[in-house]
Amino acid sequence: MAILNILEFPDPRLRTLAKPVTEVDDSIRQLVDDMFETMYEAPGIGLAATQVNVHKRVVVMDLSEDRSAPRVFINPELETLTDDMDQYQEGCLSVPGFYENVDRPVRVKIKALDRDGKPFEEIAEGLLAVCIQHECDHLNGKLFVDYLSTLKRDRIKKKLEKQHRQQA
Ligand SMILES: [Zn+2]
């Protein structure tokens, strides 16, 4: 397994539209394993392949506190099941150090393939609903900062750009 480099906002590669996985083979399972290692190391609770500069529709997630519930979503599709919205303070490994409230539908239906390429469906609420919507946004080149005001987003962008210059 390998720790992969996580792209950070405002890296333009985070805006790439990810392509569907045509076959869940060993190379995809290798990617999944590397993504888990990268996510746990960060540490984070969700990671989309886009964030590690692989533009395939693959998401990994573990919402448990003790890394006991790894979840894989390949080619995830979401259907919003309600107009009810809820606010959650979101963060992102690609926007390190910033947490902002985002409104999202509280209940969605997820259709995806698992690690073995087997299709499954699930109704998601609470943190899972928030997280899968956040990760699916990544696959479509969207970031949680896109939901914020231009002022807030620009402030975050400037701070991260400054950090990146200092690290370079
Ligand atoms: Zn994210």
What phi and psi, each to the nearest 5 degrees, are found at residue 76? -65, 140
DSSP string, 139-164: HTT--GGGGS-HHHHHHHHHHHHHHH
Segment 142-154, tens digit of pLDDT = 999 999 999 999 9
Q: How far is the CA of 135 from the centre of ligand 1 (A)?
A: 6
The pTM of the full predicted model, rounded to 2 decimals, is 0.97
d(CA 134, CA 165): 27
In this structure, how many other beta carbons lie within 10 angstroms of the beta carbon of residue 91?
A: 15
d(CA 72, CA 62): 9
Closest CA to 74 of 129, 19, 130: 19
Q: How far is the CA of 93 from the centre of ligand 1 (A)?
A: 6
Say whether 90 is catalytic.
Answer: no
Annotated active-site residue in 8, 90, 100, 135:
135
What pLDDT was estimated at residue 54?
Answer: 98
**Measured distance CA(99)–CA(90) in Å, rounded:** 5
97-141 pLDDT, tens digit per residue, is 999 999 999 999 999 999 999 999 999 999 999 999 999 999 999
Q: What's the average model confidence in pLDDT over 23-42?
A: 98
